[in-house]
Amino acid sequence: MASQPGNGTPTSAAPTAGSPQQLNQIVMEYLSKKGYSRTEAMLRVESAHTDADGRPIITRPEDYPEVKYERAYQHLRRWIDNSLDIYKPDLKRLEYPVFIYFYLYMIQNGHLGAAKTFWKNHIAEHEAVHAYDLQELSRLSHPSHVEENHLAKLYIENKYRVKMPNTTRNLLLHFLEETAEEGGQTMLDILNQRFELTSLPGRASLFDRAAEGQEGEGIQGHPFGRADLADNAPPVKLGVLPMDKDMVKEVEEELRDEDSRLRELTRSDELGIAAASSLADEFQKIKREESEDSPMRESIPLPPYTVADIHEEVKRVKEYREMMKIGGGPSTALPSVCMYTFHNTNDGLHCIDFSQDAELTAGGFAESYVRVWSLKGTPLVSIISSENQPTAPKSRRLIGHSGPVYGVSFSPDRKYLLSCSEDKSTRLWSMDTYTALVVYKGHDAPLWDVAFGPFGHYFATASHDHTARLWSSDHIYPLRIFAGHLSDVEKVTWHPNSAYLFTGSTDKTARMWDINTGNSVRLFSGHTAPVTTIAASPDGKYFATAGEDSLINIWDIAAGKRLKTMRGHGKTSIYSLSFSQEGNVLVSGGADMTVRCWDVLHGTGAQTADVPEPISGAVPGLSGPSEPTAKVDGAGSTSKRKGKDVVATPDQLAVWYTKKSPVYKVQFTRKNVVLAGSAFLPSQPTV
């Protein structure tokens, strides 16, 4: 720090032996005694600028903190605004960190009034992009808070990295040195202490570096700084998990039997209609075979397959044959959405899950219980006969938690259900007996989400304690703890090959974890608000995140790069995302009481790049009046919240409104039908 505040009252008490004032006197006496008059005179001149405590006396008004930082910041801004256009984008990026550091300095040194004024004067300039950080930092109101607040600590303990071309950098430093008197010195100090300026080769250009230039900028590990992973992202194997060789054989046999039985049927009926294609052929299409991109089967130990697994696989093949094809592009066939509206919930329903075969649904409630319904309205028969007395009910309540239930998840074979709750535990329930089987304890804070792995057996939880954990259903302790997020882990989901896990967090990022090593292998940062929901595409190549900022981002997993941002969901939370089986259509549901359908590949330059026509109007009578005016938003450009009204990006294929029912869950079945769950919340009359 260049200056110390002059607010400490100088102690007028008699100087003690060690005080610098006294020391000076002793030295001067000594010098005059010895006759070093010129040296003595020099010392007198030099020591005149320090006060009794040896601190420099502030002689100029501009050194007072109230003025100093404001002046320096204004100085910098004025210069940037007047500089050439080609330098502006790079220099502009300095303003935010300088602003934050000045503010933190002032707080740290107790100039609270000055800090607040400074903050108030300039916050509007940064709100658009950094609103979330600013909101948190604005709460600091005492020097001790800086030590305590994790975000402030991040800024203080790390250097802020900025990349800029050499010419620009030299220009800046030159300017600051020249104008050291007018505030440049303050700027230089802060640049030296807090910044890590990296030179980029080449000259500045008008091309906005915002997108790729920002990579590796900011605070390490904090969103807006993501170089720690993006630069040297480890390779990931995104191929499908190969099936067990023996199992493939048995499934094929089973399918051949099924085929011949079907042929038998058609012949005896004399219908003459051959089955569209034999099941065995279909199986060839979706058989999960080892490819060079596949994770090793041995690396994910799964229990040996059973007869049930083979039946499950046969069912899957049949469903694949009946699947509705959903194409991308403008002439797309859009999915059908079956909406399940829950009534009388009184806002107590927190989460919904549907089983993969669309037989069961489960809801977690504020009143600490989970309720299971059969979607077809058939009674839920327990294998314990006494449980079915007097009649088997159509819905069952699973009681065991001692706090609100925030997440439920069916196992792929829907024999089990997991639920996680505020009481820090996860519970496993049997869907044969409708009773609790296991309690998994390990987390230290409320759990926000739970997800069964794509092959069952394993599951993952997300918690308020900033970690996600991997469990196997036969162990009551976690197998892996994924730590790295800086705030709550909101949502967890699996990569379809079961080798990776995705998490979305309140720290505005999403991460991809290797379940074998437990390391974070990808960091997806770009949201400006907490990530509320995530989804991975069935082909394992794309990843979608949605945040409190009501944006949906599509990411390329292998490259770890954002492909595009999709906008349309008002300004409310998005609760759920789901990819179609082909992976080209994304469906989202949110608090704005709509289900929206998005073209994943539109505008990403992949495959459908030759049909860039706006599609929102393609669905007659569905698009609201505002949509045909959809504003084209270049792929990959940073989307700031401009303007007041939200205009949907042209990749929105359709929007379907519900009646006063926020949509909690959307889920594609294997037949490509969307199941959506919502709770009807009638509003209270006002008079």
Task: Report the site for other proteins in 563-622 (rule: CB under 8 A).
Answer: 570-573, 575, 591-595, 597, 619, 621-622
Q: Please select the residue that binds other proteins; options are 277, 336, 402, 516, rule is CB under 8 A.
A: 336
Smallest separation, CB 524 to other proteins (Å)? 20
Query: Which residues, numbered 99-128, are part of the site for other proteins (CB under 8 A)?
Result: 112-113, 116
Smallest separation, CB 684 to other proteins (Å)? 7
Query: Which residues, numbered 193-252, are part of the site for other proteins (CB under 8 A)?
Result: none
- Our CB check for other proteins shows the closer of 174 and 571 to be 571
Smallest separation, CB 674 to other proteins (Å)? 8
Phi, psi of 309 (to 5 degrees): -65, -40
Q: Please select the residue that binds other proteins; options are 168, 355, 361, 382, rule is CB under 8 A.
A: 361
- Our CB check for other proteins shows the closer of 15 and 570 to be 570
- Our CB check for other proteins shows the closer of 87 and 668 to be 668
Which region, judged by CB under 8 A, interacts with other proteins, from 24-32, 53-61, 188-196, 347-355? Answer: 347-355
Query: Which residues, numbered 389-448, are part of the site for other proteins (CB under 8 A)?
Result: 403-404, 406, 422, 445-446, 448
Smallest separation, CB 439 to other proteins (Å)? 19
Query: Which residues, numbered 125-184, are part of the site for other proteins (CB under 8 A)?
Result: 136, 139-142, 144-145
Q: Is the CB of residue 121 less than 8 Å from the CB of residue 70?
A: yes
Query: Which residues, numbered 370-399, are part of the site for other proteins (CB under 8 A)?
Result: 371, 373, 375
Number of chain positions touching other proteins (CB under 8 A): 91
Q: Does residue number 346 form part of the binding site for other proteins (CB under 8 A)? A: yes
- Our CB check for other proteins shows the closer of 69 and 342 to be 342
Query: Which residues, numbered 56-85, are part of the site for other proteins (CB under 8 A)?
Result: none
Closest alpha carbon to 514 in 229, 156, 247:
229
The amino acid at residue 372 is V
Phi, psi of 662 (to 5 degrees): -60, 140
Query: Which residues, numbered 283-312, are part of the site for other proteins (CB under 8 A)?
Result: none
212 CB-near residues (< 8 Å, 6+ apart): none
Q: Please select the residue that binds other proteins; options are 21, 345, 388, 435, rule is CB under 8 A.
A: 345
- Across the strands, what pairs with 512? 502, 522
590 SS3 class? strand
Smallest separation, CB 490 to other proteins (Å)? 8
Phi, psi of 88 (to 5 degrees): -55, -50
**Is 584 exposed, middle or buried, given 0-12, 13-18 or 19+ CB atoms closer than 10 A?**
buried
CA dist 137 to 121, 122, 460, Å?
A: 15, 14, 32
Query: Which residues, numbered 316-335, are part of the site for other proteins (CB under 8 A)?
Result: 324, 332-335
- Sheet of 195-200: strand order equals 195-200, 160-165, 218-219
What is the C-alpha to C-alpha distance for residues 473 and 431, in angstroms, rounded to an integer? Answer: 15
Query: Which residues, numbered 252-271, are part of the site for other proteins (CB under 8 A)?
Result: none
Smallest separation, CB 138 to other proteins (Å)? 9
- Our CB check for other proteins shows the closer of 89 and 530 to be 530
Q: Please select the residue that binds other proteins; options are 93, 414, 464, 480, rule is CB under 8 A.
A: 464
Q: Is the CB of residue 460 less than 8 Å from the CB of residue 501?
A: yes
Query: Which residues, numbered 15-54, are part of the site for other proteins (CB under 8 A)?
Result: none
Smallest separation, CB 630 to other proteins (Å)? 12
What is the C-alpha to C-alpha distance for residues 244 and 252, in angstroms, rounded to an integer? Answer: 12
Smallest separation, CB 394 to other proteins (Å)? 9
78-117 burial: b if 16+ Cβ within 10 Å, else e = ebbeebeeebbbbbebbbbbbbbbbbbbbbbbebeebbbe
Q: Please select the residue that binds other proteins; options are 60, 153, 263, 343, rule is CB under 8 A.
A: 343
Q: Please select the residue that binds other proteins; options are 658, 667, 668, 669, rule is CB under 8 A.
A: 658
Which region, judged by CB under 8 A, interacts with other proteins, from 17-25, 179-187, 261-269, 336-344? Answer: 336-344
Query: Which residues, numbered 521-560, are part of the site for other proteins (CB under 8 A)?
Result: 530, 532, 548
What is the C-alpha to C-alpha distance for residues 409 and 418, in angstroms, rounded to an integer? Answer: 5
Please list the alpha-helical segments (H only) found in 195-297: 210-213, 227-230, 245-269, 279-286
165 prior amide bond cis, ω within 30: no
CA dist 561 to 230, 544, 576, Å?
A: 8, 11, 22
What is the C-alpha to C-alpha distance for residues 296 and 293, in angstroms, rounded to an integer? Answer: 9
- Our CB check for other proteins shows the closer of 411 and 573 to be 573
- Our CB check for other proteins shows the closer of 256 and 671 to be 671
Which region, judged by CB under 8 A, interacts with other proteins, from 58-66, 154-162, 206-214, 364-372? Answer: 364-372
What is the C-alpha to C-alpha distance for residues 329 and 603, in angstroms, rounded to an integer? Answer: 10
Please list the alpha-helical segments (H only) found in 150-239: 150-157, 166-178, 184-194, 210-213, 227-230
Site string for other proteins, 493-512 (x = CB under 8 A): -------------x------
What is the C-alpha to C-alpha distance for residues 164 and 195, in angstroms, rounded to an integer? Answer: 12
Query: Which residues, numbered 466-495, are part of the site for other proteins (CB under 8 A)?
Result: 488, 490
Q: Please select the residue that binds other proteins; options are 662, 667, 668, 669, rule is CB under 8 A.
A: 662
CA dist 232 to 209, 216, 224, 236, Å?
A: 20, 11, 17, 12
Which region, judged by CB under 8 A, interacts with other proteins, from 155-163, 216-224, 358-366, 516-524? Answer: 358-366
- Our CB check for other proteins shows the closer of 155 and 500 to be 155
Closest alpha carbon to 578 in 282, 384, 326, 381:
326
Q: Please select the residue that binds other proteins; options are 4, 158, 294, 341, rule is CB under 8 A.
A: 341
What is the C-alpha to C-alpha distance for residues 389 and 599, in angstroms, rounded to an integer? Answer: 49
Tell me the DSSP string of 647-659. ---TTEEEEEE-S
Q: Please select the residue that binds other proteins; options are 219, 229, 351, 600, rule is CB under 8 A.
A: 351
Q: Please select the residue that binds other proteins; options are 58, 366, 380, 476, rule is CB under 8 A.
A: 366
Smallest separation, CB 482 to other proteins (Å)? 19
Smallest separation, CB 208 to other proteins (Å)? 29
H/E segment holding residue 122: helix 112-122
